[in-house]
Structure 1
Amino acid sequence: MARHGAPGWRTLVMAMSMGLCGVTGQVMAGAPAGDGAPVCWSAPDDVRLAVMGVTGQGALLLAGGAVARLAWLDTPEPWLPARKAALEQLLGGAGAPPSEIRARNGGAHDRWGGFGVVADVAVARGDAKEPCVNVQAWLLGQGLARLRPESANEPAPAGLQAWRKAEAAARAARLALWADPAYAPLPADLPQAILRREGRFVIVEGAVTSINERPGLTWLNFGSRWSEDMTVSAPARIWRMVKRSGLTVARLQGRVVRVRGIVESRGGPMIELASPAELEIAETGSRP
């Protein structure tokens, strides 16, 4: 997948959004200031897309039938209807005229053929439009999605920290999906509870007790029994990216971290990092 702003991204969007010209004129770069377009669409490297509706998976259905997946988000299946309804309301209500979003490259195609976007929308309030609302941040803040980083091949978006804060606020307030204990972060010191989620996307929190750096693979341990306790593995390329982000061995040792990913069984539960964004220092900061 081409990076944000690259010609390949624009070509892909234009090819997959055939028919858009009948709604908004064309797939185009952000409108320059002064042409009457909301400031929401003033970024030169983005594209404007017309949204015709919301799919059952909570993705955006574009003019011409293309599907734009909202990148960096995960919504458990029981909450997909609520996400769909909330998005429809944000975009003006079900059956409303097409809405325009400002979109930028957010990730590779998914198995349903949708391409990943980071999306902003200007929300109508009466006869006026308010400043841009980032759709990802809005869903996270409503408790209708969890942050789920794309692969390390996709650069972290500029809004990553804002997304983390939005998710944290919704989690603390137990909004929507966070009111269900099934989706609460799992304590790292309960390995059997984590193992019961094998093959599923989870969030785990706990103190890093030791770190074992090796040339090809680094291990973050959450207990002294490595064959039974929770561990996180990071391939060499990912570990280099983790350290470049500021999460060095010295900073991680003894700290309470939050990790998200797919649970594997390797004696004890293990999550292999696919992106450096899957690991962060938790708000609680350090081990009691």
Structure 2
Amino acid sequence: MHRSSSALAISLFLLTGHAFAEEKHVAASPCTESEKPVTLGSPLSYSAPVAIKPRGQGGFTLKGLVPDLFANSELERQKQKEISRFLRKAPIEAYVTGHKKPDRYGRHEAFLAHLKDGNEILLQDSLVAKGLARVLTDSLEDDCADHLLSIEATARKTQKGLWKEAAYRLKKADDLHLSAIVSTYQIVSGIVLSVHRKADGTSYVNFGDNWYEDFTISLGKKGLQSWEAKNKFLDDLQNKPIYVRGWVEDRGGPLIELQNASQLTVAGETKSLGDTR
């Protein structure tokens, strides 16, 4: 556990009236094995797109999920139904990362879980498996990111839920319509044309000759360190087919900023992305 977890436990107890659960011998998820849970009482309510609120103050947001509010009302209804079904399986436990501060509404990022036959079942797993949520890797440890991305790959391959919708399908780097995707979370595929490093530590992965119009990935020093610590040199990406996920920005042309290595995958070098059609 993180060194601040004891203080966090006291804070959560004061806010929600719930304490740490007793130790159990369970098959833990790679997303929760390093944390200790807080057991939540009932009732628990859901607030779209990813907030869970126990009785009293505070609350939680679902860690590792893109905060999608579906325009398709049927998808949103299915998501709400799945979350409500899960929250009825008391007791529900929240795994909260101790070193991250709550948001401005006092909510902590958390994984929510219940036990079934000695196995830990995560709400995040259930939503991703049914195609009712996409994976947001920004604050995830590598093992957890790989776990959720593998579940997502299966849902995408079988076109579960949101993966039937054109808005969420894989986008091609050479056929992006910026006005339609700016400020949205996307998965983009393409073949890297070049890699450019600047003196200030910023790096760019380019997919076309015109840096001001074609799709680009940018990496600050932190993003570059994350990638090269887990993989090989960034320059080795040249001429390789890759997939990248993230929020699309308008920087003259469409751009995704790489925060951690789990956002970028080289085609054929991992099982976690699966069939991305």
TM-score range, shorter chain: 0.7 to 0.9
Cα gap change, 1:53 to 1:279, in 2 (>3 Å): same
SS of match in other structure, 1:138: helix
1:257 and 1:12 map into 2 onto residues whose CA distance is: 39
Deviation at 1:13, TM superposition (A): 4.1
Query: For this pair of structures, how many residues does the alignment match?
Result: 260
Deviation at 1:7, TM superposition (A): 4.0
Asked if 1:72 is matched to 2:64, the reply is: yes
Cα gap change, 1:43 to 1:187, in 2 (>3 Å): closer
2:224 is matched with 239
1:146 is matched with 134
Cα gap change, 1:221 to 1:242, in 2 (>3 Å): same
Asked if 1:46 is matched to 2:36, the reply is: yes
Q: Is the 8 A contact 1:18 1:64 kept in 2?
A: no
Name the aligned partner's letter for residue 6 of structure 1: H
Q: Is the 8 A contact 1:143 1:177 kept in 2?
A: yes
2:120 and 2:241 map into 1 onto residues whose CA distance is: 34
Deviation at 1:19, TM superposition (A): 7.0
2:274 is matched with none
1:232 and 1:59 map into 2 onto residues whose CA distance is: 30
1:186 and 1:132 map into 2 onto residues whose CA distance is: 34
Higher alpha-carbon deviation: 208-217 or 8-17? 8-17
2:14 to 13, 18, 26: 18
SS of match in other structure, 1:73: coil
**Identical positions, percent:** 22
Cα gap change, 1:32 to 1:147, in 2 (>3 Å): closer
SS of match in other structure, 2:181: coil
1:207 is matched with 191
Q: Is the 8 A contact 2:39 2:93 kept in 1?
A: yes
Deviation at 1:221, TM superposition (A): 0.5
Deviation at 1:132, TM superposition (A): 1.3
2:188 and 2:245 map into 1 onto residues whose CA distance is: 6
SS of match in other structure, 2:174: coil
2:132 and 2:249 map into 1 onto residues whose CA distance is: 25
1:230 is matched with 215
1:30 and 1:253 map into 2 onto residues whose CA distance is: 51
SS of match in other structure, 1:166: helix
1:114 to 104, 107, 114: 107
User: Superposed, which structure 2 residues align to 1:57-136 within 5 Å?
Assistant: 57=48, 58-78=50-70, 79-92=75-88, 98-105=90-97, 107-123=100-116, 129-136=117-124
Cα gap change, 1:89 to 1:39, in 2 (>3 Å): same
Name the aligned partner's letter for residue 145 of structure 1: A
Higher alpha-carbon deviation: 204-213 or 131-140? 131-140
Deviation at 1:164, TM superposition (A): 0.6
Higher strand proportion: 1
Q: Which has the higher contact order (CA 8 A, sep 6+)?
A: 2
1:284 and 1:182 map into 2 onto residues whose CA distance is: 26
2:102 and 2:260 map into 1 onto residues whose CA distance is: 17
1:19 and 1:109 map into 2 onto residues whose CA distance is: 12
1:134 and 1:281 map into 2 onto residues whose CA distance is: 28
Asked if 1:254 is matched to 2:246, the reply is: no
1:56 to 47, 56, 65: 47
Cα gap change, 1:64 to 1:268, in 2 (>3 Å): same
Deviation at 1:139, TM superposition (A): 1.5
Deviation at 1:233, TM superposition (A): 0.5
- Give structure 2 stretches of 5+ with no counterpart: 271-277
Query: Which string of whole-angstrom CA distances, capped at 9 and with x for unpartnered residues, describes residues 22-49 of structure 1?
Result: xxxx51255154xxxx666996741232
Cα gap change, 1:225 to 1:40, in 2 (>3 Å): closer
2:144 and 2:251 map into 1 onto residues whose CA distance is: 34
1:120 and 1:270 map into 2 onto residues whose CA distance is: 35
SS of match in other structure, 2:143: coil
